[in-house]
Amino acid sequence: MGTMMKARSKKMLGAAVAALLTVSGCASGEDESGTEGGKVTLDFWGWAPGYEKAVDQFNKTHPDIKVDFQKTASGSKGGYTKMLTAAKAGNAPCLAMVGYETMPSFVAAGALEDITEAAAPHKGKFADWTWNQVTVGGKTYGAPVDTAPMALFYRKDLFAKYGIKKPPATWDEYRGAAEKVHKADPDVYLGTFGTDAYNYAGLAWQAGAKWFDTTSDSWKVSLHSAANTKVADYWQGLLDDKLLKPEPSFDPSLYKNMTSGKILSDVNAVWNAPILASSAKSTSGKWAVAPMPVWDADKPAYGNDGGSATAVMKGCEHPRQATEFAMWMSTNKDSLSTLIKDTGIYPAATAGQNHPVLSQPDPFYGGQKIYDVFKKESAQIDTSWKWGPTMTQTATDITDGLGRAGKDGVTLPDMLATVQKKTADEMKQQGMTVSTH
């Protein structure tokens, strides 16, 4: 998700650099476990659907390496805390599913193993900006898996019922459609307003409302910039006018309302496609995917919500084999087929972006070749977006704020101002030089 942070100076990274420098591990990529030539077992923690199938495919074709996939809570719901705790205690798994946004935080915490040399031969297999997501301060810590362009998932039948002749192409059109639907039936909403911090980040990303910058000798935090306020004011206006239905992201109530026709669409990432299909099975064939609405139809730009790496954790006894698996999972044709179908990824591997599965019609979406939408959008996503080194804390604060937006006088612009201050304070506490905008 955007270009990963780059170390500018010791002053800029402060304590984060000190932590990074301790993450040397087996920099050569050689297996120092004393089991050279013998079968090794690699524990792998993650939560995405489909991963266990890809692991099975690997195990069947690699007799000398066994990967044991263990499902955890998603990163934001405790998975990352569990991983960091295990790393601190010295008993982390060899491999972990880590979102691009969290890689800098894991590096700063000394939780990842440096696999630079073992990974280097694979660099050319991936889109440059995704490789930057797994490389911090010139050191590589994992394999890119996917990117996550956002789109509009919508009910074709209900759009027609309420006189929406075509999916809204701009955010102005989106508001107009929301007004039209809610006026026709006050119990029906064009869309929802969720609590996923990274979905909201994708909306900011689309508008060029960057949150972190490292072009100077200090971290610049700008969650409350003019561009961010523009995005926040737009969504706050929809909330104030009761044109969206607030729902916790990925809650069963959300899919119940989508199934019953109370919510007609969702602005979400590519990986939402199989989740929606499995959560609203009875509406199969009634859905379609369109590009997410844009701010300027003459200069369309899109957002990205997600993207993850298979990271090698600190203390892994078999870093060479762990790297071999991580790169295989992201580039092997059979693995990619599984991850596209079951996980809903858009591959980070360049070869994967022409995978035959991406061209298959999807029955749930009325036979549409939905990946055509995501492929076209991918060329118009700003790849310079940067994540900060305290995203675990920042995301928690944003999630909390999104849940309170529109209630008891809490507004999105005010929430972002609060999160900006808390983020800057946390970074300063870690010894970093920080400015805000």
Compute the 3-state secondary structure of the chain and give helix, strand, coil in percent, each to the nearest 5. Answer: 45, 20, 35
- What single-letter amino acid sits at 397? D
CA distance linking residue 188 with residue 162, whole number of Å: 10
150-304+388-436 matches 10-148+306-359 in CATH topology:
yes
- 124 pLDDT more than 60: yes
Strand partners, 112: 313
pLDDT of residue 113: 98
Confidence of residue 32 (pLDDT cuts 50, 70, 90): very low
Domain ranges of the chain: 10-148+306-359, 150-304+388-436
Handedness of CA 132, 137, 139, 143 (dihedral sign): negative
Q: Is the domain defined by 150-304+388-436 classed in CATH 3.40.190.10?
A: yes
Report, as an integer, the average pLDDT of 135-147: 96
pLDDT of residue 22: 31
- CA 292, 334, 331, 311: dihedral to nearest 10 degrees? 80
Give the distance from CA 208 to its chain's centroid: 17
Phi, psi of 34 (to 5 degrees): 85, 10
Confidence of residue 138 (pLDDT cuts 50, 70, 90): very high
- Angle value at C-alpha 397, between 395 and 401, nearest 5 degrees: 115
CA distance linking residue 130 with residue 1, whole number of Å: 7
Counting residues of the chain whose pLDDT is more than 90, the rounded percentage is 85
CA distance linking residue 133 with residue 131, whole number of Å: 5
Confidence of residue 25 (pLDDT cuts 50, 70, 90): very low
Are 349 and 336 within 8 A, CB to CB?
yes
Q: Is the domain defined by 10-148+306-359 classed in CATH 3.40.190.10?
A: yes
**Chain mean pLDDT for the chain:** 90
pLDDT of residue 17: 34
Report the DSSP pairing between strands 434-436 and 142-144.
unpaired
Residues, the chain: 437
Are 261 and 158 within 8 A, CB to CB?
yes
Report the DSSP pairing between strands 287-291 and 265-269.
unpaired
Q: Is 312 helix (H, G, I), strand (E, B) or coil?
A: strand
CA distance linking residue 416 with residue 422, whole number of Å: 10
Confidence of residue 38 (pLDDT cuts 50, 70, 90): low
Report the DSSP pairing between strands 139-140 and 308-312.
unpaired
Handedness of CA 43, 45, 49, 50 (dihedral sign): negative
pLDDT of residue 437: 79
Handedness of CA 346, 349, 352, 353 (dihedral sign): positive
Structure tokens at 212: 């972190």
How does pLDDT run across 185-207, given as a tens digit for each residue? 999 999 999 999 999 999 999 99
Using alpha carbons, select from 40, 186, 29 the residue that is nearest to residue 113. Answer: 29
Confidence of residue 159 (pLDDT cuts 50, 70, 90): very high
Strand partners, 308: 99
Q: What residues have CB less than 8 Å from 36, skipping those under 6 apart?
A: none
